[in-house]
Amino acid sequence: MYDVYKVRKDFPMLDGTKKMQGKPLVYLDNASTTFKPQVVIDKMNEYYTTLNANSHRGDYDLLYNMDVAVQESRKAIAKFINADENEVVFTSGDTASLNLVAFGYALKFLKENDEILISETEHASNVLPWFKVCELTGAKIKYIPLDEDGKITPANVKNVLSSSTKIVSIAHVGNVLGYEINIKEIAKLVHEVGAVIVVDGAQSVPHIKTDFKDLDCDFLTFSAHKMCGPTGIGALVGKYDLLDKMDAVFGGGGMNVKFSTDGTCIPLNPPSKFEAGTLNLSGILGFKAAVEYLEELGMENIHKHDVELFDYAVSNLEKNENIIIYNKNSHNGILTFNVKNVFSQDEATLLNHKGIAVRSGQHCAKLIDDVVKTKATVRASFYLYTTKEDVDALIDALNEGGDILDAYFN
Amino acid sequence: MLTLTNEMMRAIIMDHYSNPVNKKQPPKDGYEKIHMHSDNCIDDIDVFLLVENGVVTDACFDGVACAISTSSTDIMCDLLKGKDVECAKYIIDQYHHMIHEEEFDESVLEESLAFINTSKQAARIRCATIGWNAADEILKDK
């Protein structure tokens, strides 16, 4: 196991000088985005200070070196989630990856009355692209029923799967309730009816050892910025034959072999066919540095650390009768709660006043209020550098309570 | 001019949050409605004004809102009721000046002076102004 206090020294945002409302910063919004270690920042700077060139098979050394660097990053990310190198497409992030599957794959292959299965706990980025696909193709969305915890189970998926099902798109770990879903078993069921399974890995890939081949999902999407990497870069990982047969949504330089006046275009093979235009090269280099940083700490260790903090927080907060915890069985780095009779945004403002960063609201999962039976919640989320002291600060602040207007008058 | 202490301001805000008398659907037809929501997913309200012969004869709002947006909108409704359109616009302008720490005419703001500290909590400016912006939108072409 790694030493969390030593690890914190790698992060400029955790150097002890950062404050909110004049108080030392306690950052518990890691499900939203994470801090970056110096190695990632340095790697991104290296692009701008020593490597600056475009990519796509150049004629001079600087370009060639950049192509090599992009391929090395792709290899590192493929290894990180156990996929083949040519199955990793660089995108601007999880949202772009899910949209790429929707508009590159679903739009091409779905027909009227085909069914797409999602759940009410999905993030907007795993709902709205499918709404659009349905509008354009006449396909229909069906919602997978959830168990009493708000979790997707293989049995419940099986109940709604049919020969009409063409796509099942679900988060491996939800961004509000944080339950880990049994993707491997669900993938088996999905494949039995001949459908494809899309896994939103935004909250799982940064926290749980993820094996693309072992899960046997068809597509896996994630963002670098939730795993100590840069913003504006992420990946769509897809089985090669599916990437090969789906459409490139963006046309442009770097994605085609040739095109002619008769309107035809021969695209490059995947993954290049999806990477039109100049890539986020600094981001791609930083992405590699981030996965290497995580690998060095060990994904099992990171997950263990998340679970320890979660269990510690739950066992303490359960003693406080004013706190309603919505996901105490989830055992991941996401804790979702409310303080009785306090609107979540008012609670988040009070915590901000105490230097504690948490999110309030629906966390972009706007269908979830039926599941948790409340309009909005407070979410505290942990990561590899979160300490027990950070969690204590949250526990103390919640035990201390206080008038929600304290934040307004001090 | 009455000077409000922090305790008085707290009491005003809590009173209008706990018991927002203007938080309701309009009792009859004829109200103009503007829907407002904040970018951070929570505040989601409708503001209704009844404007008859150049006078705001009634104001109310409904929806999901935090303490600051609920109380500031409730107080606004009280303030605007019975005012002619010009006067209502003047009050809204003065409130915005106060929120943004500009010079303002405090003589017309009454209980809404309780929000004078908003600028210290930058993240709450949108909560303290969401209802006011809606009313502004309804009245701007009148």
> Does A162 reside within a domain?
yes
Q: For residue A367, is pLDDT > 80?
A: no
| pLDDT band at residue B117 using 50, 70 and 90 as cut-offs | confident
| pLDDT band at residue B120 using 50, 70 and 90 as cut-offs | confident
Of the two residues B90 and A366, the one the predictor is more confident about is B90
Give the domain ranges of chain B. 6-139
CB < 8 Å from A in window 53-92 of B: 64-68
Do A325 and A283 lie in one domain? The reply is no
Q: Using a pLDDT cut of 90, give the percent of chain A over it.
A: 87
Which residue(s) pair with B52 in the sheet?
Answer: B55
Instruction: Report CB contact under 8 Å: B68, A352.
Output: no
DSSP secondary-structure letter at A276? -
Do A99 and A109 lie in one domain? The reply is yes
Question: How many domains would you assign to chain A?
Answer: 2
Q: Find out if CATH 3.40.50.300 is the number for domain B6-139.
A: no
- Which regions of A45-188 does DSSP assign to beta strands (E)? 88-91, 115-118, 140-143, 165-171
Do A387 and A305 lie in one domain? The reply is yes
Do A191 and A319 lie in one domain? The reply is no
pLDDT tens for each residue of A282-300: 999 999 999 999 999 999 9
Instruction: Report CB contact under 8 Å: B117, A408.
Output: yes
Report how far apart, in Å, the C-alpha atoms of B71 and of each of B19, B29, B57 are: 9, 25, 20
Do A110 and A243 lie in one domain? The reply is yes
Q: Is A217 a catalytic residue?
A: no
Q: Using a pLDDT cut of 70, give the percent of chain B over it.
A: 96
Question: The tokens of A283 are what?
Answer: 């981001």
Contact A236, A83 (CB under 8 A): no
Looking at CA atoms only, how far is residue A84 from chain B in angstroms?
A: 38
Q: For residue B1, is pLDDT > 60?
A: no
> Does A63 reside within a domain?
yes
Mean confidence (pLDDT) of chain B:
92
Do A201 and A284 lie in one domain? The reply is yes
Contact A204, A180 (CB under 8 A): yes
- pLDDT of the residue at B41: 56
Q: Which residue has the tokens 């994904």?
A: A299
Q: For residue A178, is pLDDT > 60?
A: yes
Listed in sequence order, the DSSP H helices in A211-260 are 212-215, 240-245
* Backbone dihedral region for residue A257 (phi beyond 0: left; psi -120 to 50: alpha; all else: beta): alpha
pLDDT tens for each residue of A115-124: 999 999 999 9
DSSP secondary-structure letter at B23? B
- pLDDT of the residue at B40: 61
Do A312 and A338 lie in one domain? The reply is yes
Mean confidence (pLDDT) of chain A:
95
Listed in sequence order, the DSSP H helices in A277-323 are 281-297, 299-317
Helix, coil or strand: residue B10? helix
Do A173 and A261 lie in one domain? The reply is yes
Domain membership of residue A193 as a residue range: 40-296
A88-91 and A234-238 beta bridge pairing? antiparallel
Listed in sequence order, the DSSP H helices in chain B are 6-18, 67-80, 85-99, 125-139
> Does A35 reside within a domain?
no
Q: Using a pLDDT cut of 70, give the percent of chain A over it.
A: 100
Q: Write down how long chain B is.
A: 142
Is A344 near chain B, with CB under 8 Å? yes
- Average pLDDT on A125-154 reads 96
Q: In B, which residues are within 8 Å of A349 by CB distance?
A: 66, 121, 123-124
Q: Is 0.85 exceeded by the ipTM?
A: no
Q: For residue A248, is pLDDT > 60?
A: yes
How many beta carbons lie within 10 A of that of residue A97, not counting itself? 29
- Average pLDDT on A74-85 reads 98
